[in-house]
Amino acid sequence: RNGRNRVSHYSDAQGAEQDVLAKQLIMLSELQHGFERGEFFLVYQPIMDAHGEALAAVEALIRWRKSDGTIVPPDQFIPVAEQSRLIVHLGRWVVQQVCHDLPRLHAAGMHGLKVHINMAAPEFLDSDLPAELMATVRAAGIDPSSLQIELTENMVMSHIDTSLPIMRKLTQLGFEISLDDFGMGYSSLSLLKTLPIASLKIDRGFLQGVPRERDDCAIVRTMLDLGRNMGIGVIAEGVETDSQLGYLRQFGCTLVQGYLLGRPMPLPQLLERYRKA
């Protein structure tokens, strides 16, 4: 990695670093084979109104079922996939799978239901993305406004020169954008104002201290105010308890997501649970 034609001295610490690299390379090749063998699948987590009654949208979340049957969560493999073009192929597969599933949700009476899709930097920061997305939704007969693309605040802000034009193009085409893991990045408020976003998602780290810890509560209330004043939706992630839900409702949060409301589930289970006659 340091380049050719040089002498390097290795210490134990570097050895450990090489171990990590070797493990990642092995995983990358497993991921590639897994992708060819169709080992990935999507689960959907409900996003509900603050009363926990009406299904407002769902978030698509990817899973990897390895050949030995173990299920690997995305935090463990997305960062590895991001080291290669694989992430772009995985991302396209997610969009295609969502476009395949969404008409079934609409046909089951969940008319106008939106699906949120997460995108990593290498997928999103590709100027071909808007045209490709448009072609995919058209072929599936889906309205672009049915898809809300979730981008982490960190990713948007650290690539703002590239991300902003793509965000603008996507919203012109009718797609919606959501700022994920909000509060974990470093948005300047003036920059935030210029982003074409439909919603922001309060990172679940902040929900953990609600309603006990004063600071977390203050941050959550401030984010709710911010969204309201900017005229965009605010979704609270990671709602696990009734007291968190009560607090959010009290301070005007309209959309919630978390284990209390529903865990991520495969499509058949989602259809069964929310089908409207």
Size of the site for ligand C2E (CB under 6 A): 24
Nearest to 227 by CA among 50, 63, 18: 50
In the bound state with ligand C2E, the residue whose beta carbon lies nearer, of 101 and 180, is 180
Q: With binding defined as CB under 6 A, does residue 70 bind ligand C2E?
A: no
Work out what residue 101 binds among Mg ion, ligand C2E, none; the CB cut-off runs from 5 to 8 Å by kind: none
Asked if 240 and 260 count as a contact pair (C-beta separation under 8 A), the reply is yes
- Written as one string, the DSSP assignment of the chain is ---SS------HHHHHHHHHHHHHHHHHHHHHHHHHTT-EEEEEEEEEETTS-SEEEEEEEEEEE-TTSPEEPHHHHHHHHTTSTHHHHHHHHHHHHHHHHHHHHHHTT-TT-EEEEE--HHHHT-TTHHHHHHHHHHHHT--GGGEEEEEEHHHHHHTHHHHHHHHHHHHHHT-EEEEEEETSS---HHHHHHS--SEEEE-HHHHTTTTT-HHHHHHHHHHHHHHHHHT-EEEE----SHHHHHHHHHTT--EE-STTT---B-HHHHHHHH---
Out of 34, 130, 227, 264, name the contact with ligand C2E by CB under 6 A.
264
| Nearest distance, CB of residue 76 and ligand C2E, angstroms | 9
In the bound state with Mg ion, the residue whose beta carbon lies nearer, of 176 and 181, is 181
Out of 118, 146, 187, 199, name the contact with Mg ion by CB under 5 A.
118
> Cβ neighbours of residue 240 under 8 Å, at least 6 residues apart?
207, 258, 259, 260
| Nearest distance, CB of residue 57 and Mg ion, angstroms | 11
Out of 101, 123, 150, 176, name the contact with Mg ion by CB under 5 A.
150
Q: With binding defined as CB under 6 A, does residue 184 bind ligand C2E?
A: no
Q: With binding defined as CB under 5 A, does residue 181 bind Mg ion?
A: yes
In the bound state with ligand C2E, the residue whose beta carbon lies nearer, of 201 and 254, is 201
Work out what residue 199 binds among Mg ion, ligand C2E, none; the CB cut-off runs from 5 to 8 Å by kind: none
Work out what residue 99 binds among ligand C2E, Mg ion, none; the CB cut-off runs from 5 to 8 Å by kind: none
Out of 86, 130, 180, 274, name the contact with ligand C2E by CB under 6 A.
180
Q: With binding defined as CB under 6 A, does residue 120 bind ligand C2E?
A: yes
Q: With binding defined as CB under 6 A, does residue 41 bind ligand C2E?
A: no
Enumerate binding residues for Mg ion (CB under 5 A): 118, 150, 180-181, 237
Enumerate binding residues for ligand C2E (CB under 6 A): 45, 61-62, 73-75, 78, 91, 94, 118-120, 150, 180-181, 204, 237-240, 257-259, 264
